[in-house]
Structure 1
């Protein structure tokens, strides 16, 4: 039985805590300053109010103010289950307490900007920890199609765990070996994390098709807009492929669970797809956010706001080929510049001249 701390008591962090408990571990679920209602509920009767499940008895709930009391020499793993905006906060809380060589497993998805370059979140975490005298902390990440509610219901789920350290990777795969959780291993941390970050971003565009359908309605013959959604999905994969390639990841990750698999499941339901649908009806981003989703974190839009300016600069400098990322530019313009989301079909496919 390993002692594991999961930092972040939201739906994914808590669902993953349940998984770790099911495989026989002692799990300390630590809520952020935003999670106190969840922590109080789990302490009272074990019920997670958002997942609507009762967590196992070997999941114990704590406030972040109690971290100093539970981080000790027996901790074998730290899991980051905060959202992307909370990563710096998590590093600041765990950095002064973390013991050297205790690995961190990232559930958090996103990209960070450093200077004029893009970094995956494990890189940002590793660099942040150096402020606390911690160098060489092993980092790994979970990617792939895994909706928190389904994981909490113990539905069959397939994921990929990425870690350059093959010994640690093997240990992590054994750690999460539950009958309903099927984890594949990969050493491609860069590729898996780029895919995991960008799937939310591009789901905004795929969701656009649902908004167009709502606005225009079914055709007289009953036809919907599956063709439109599929075309946008394919373009999204093409642009993920491009970013994985230029950032140094492995192309296989794009067409596996981390890329195509995760993009598919993210497009089926969730906040990013709902925002994309609103944009597809013709609403501008700021109006859609303030009127329809004021209390929701839209991960894809948050990523656009974080990296949008840098992407424009890299395109202007020629470091990113503009012709390779037309859908990316449209999403950035829609979110960062509050412009209508327009689909640049004429830039998606090269057409032979006759």
Structure 2
């Protein structure tokens, strides 16, 4: 039995208590400053108010000020913050960690630099004084929290620089319904899964456009499929720019597939497609964490910087550029369909 301390009681981290607890490990779930109500509820009856699932009886729950008690003696630390908590994790959590204890995170996203290159969150945390000696790893792939909690078959990738650490982590997490591949291509895996939020917003525009024409509930799969295909094409090009292995596109495409079927990103894309302005859509979804806005903005900014340096062409990313126009320039949805057309001669 190992002791696993999860820092962040968000939906994905909390869902990961299911396979790990069922594997016989001691699970300690620590809330961030934003999770106080979640932890209070879990302490009462094990029901997670956001995940809408009852966690296993026997999991230990901690408020943020009790974090050091939860970390003491842990064999693994799991970071469960959203992309909005990346700096908090660096400043408030990393200094408390033992360099001999591996860290694995579920936070998806990347940070763009001035030259257009993208930095993964594990690399960002490793670049800090507190994180430079830590063994940082991450989880990527198509897996929604509620379906994992319901034990639907889920296939993900654990990535990090040390394969032995990854094998150890896999032994703790993998079950007959949670399937884990391993990769030392951190940039490739993290880039692929980060991009899905931006493009899921783009695909969801088609949902809103159909509803604008024919009423709420109308669905046309041709337009969604076209945007999905264009998204995979652009994600693959971005993966190449980042220096990730091409095969990692399976994690990004799979994650894109599950994301467009529900959740926050689908909501914002649908509202925009219906004709609502970005500001009004954000107002309607006030209080909802929208990581898609962050990653779309950062990725578009990175592509523009690379283009300025002659290392990319914005014309290769018409869907991304249009999403950026919508959320950062206030433009109306007007899918650039002809820009997606290609001509292939063998």
TM range (shorter): over 0.9
2:226 is aligned, of 227, 231, 251, to 231
In structure 2, do the counterparts of structure 1 residues 352 and 172 end up closer, same or farther at CA, with 3 Å as the change threshold? Answer: closer
1:275 is aligned, of 254, 268, 277, to 268
User: How much does 1:247 deviate?
Assistant: 0.8
Q: TM-score, normalized by length of structure 1?
A: 0.91
Aligned to 1:152: 149
Q: Distance between the aligned counterparts of 1:224 and 1:9, measured in 2?
A: 34
3-state SS, counterpart of residue 161 of structure 1:
strand
In structure 2, do the counterparts of structure 1 residues 54 and 224 end up closer, same or farther at CA, with 3 Å as the change threshold? Answer: closer
3-state SS, counterpart of residue 260 of structure 2:
helix
RMSD over aligned Cα atoms? 1.9
3-state SS, counterpart of residue 182 of structure 2:
strand
Confirm or deny: 8 A CA contact 2:318 2:336 kept in the other structure.
Answer: yes
Aligned to 2:309: 317
Aligned to 2:60: 60
3-state SS, counterpart of residue 256 of structure 2:
helix
Structure 1 position 143 matched with structure 2 position 140? yes
3-state SS, counterpart of residue 96 of structure 2:
coil
User: How much does 1:306 deviate?
Assistant: 4.1
Q: TM-score, normalized by length of structure 2?
A: 0.93
Structure 1 position 286 matched with structure 2 position 279? yes
Confirm or deny: 8 A CA contact 1:285 1:338 kept in the other structure.
Answer: yes
Aligned to 1:250: 245
Aligned to 1:209: 206
Deviations, residues 35-87 of structure 1 (Å, cap 9, x unaligned) = 10000011112111122222123321111111122322x22111111100101
Aligned to 1:192: 189
User: How much does 1:30 deviate?
Assistant: 0.8
User: How much does 1:308 deviate?
Assistant: 4.2
Aligned to 2:252: 259
User: How much does 1:351 deviate?
Assistant: 4.2
Aligned to 2:103: 104
3-state SS, counterpart of residue 146 of structure 1:
coil
Aligned to 1:331: 323
User: How much does 1:101 deviate?
Assistant: 2.9
Confirm or deny: 8 A CA contact 1:25 1:58 kept in the other structure.
Answer: no
Count of residues paired in the alignment: 342
Q: Distance between the aligned counterparts of 1:282 and 1:45, measured in 2?
A: 43
Deviations, residues 233-284 of structure 1 (Å, cap 9, x unaligned) = 0110011101111111110010x2x122111111111111111111111222
3-state SS, counterpart of residue 27 of structure 1:
strand
User: How much does 1:11 deviate?
Assistant: 0.9
3-state SS, counterpart of residue 330 of structure 1:
helix
User: How much does 1:114 deviate?
Assistant: 3.2
In structure 2, do the counterparts of structure 1 residues 63 and 306 end up closer, same or farther at CA, with 3 Å as the change threshold? Answer: farther
3-state SS, counterpart of residue 4 of structure 1:
strand
3-state SS, counterpart of residue 39 of structure 1:
helix
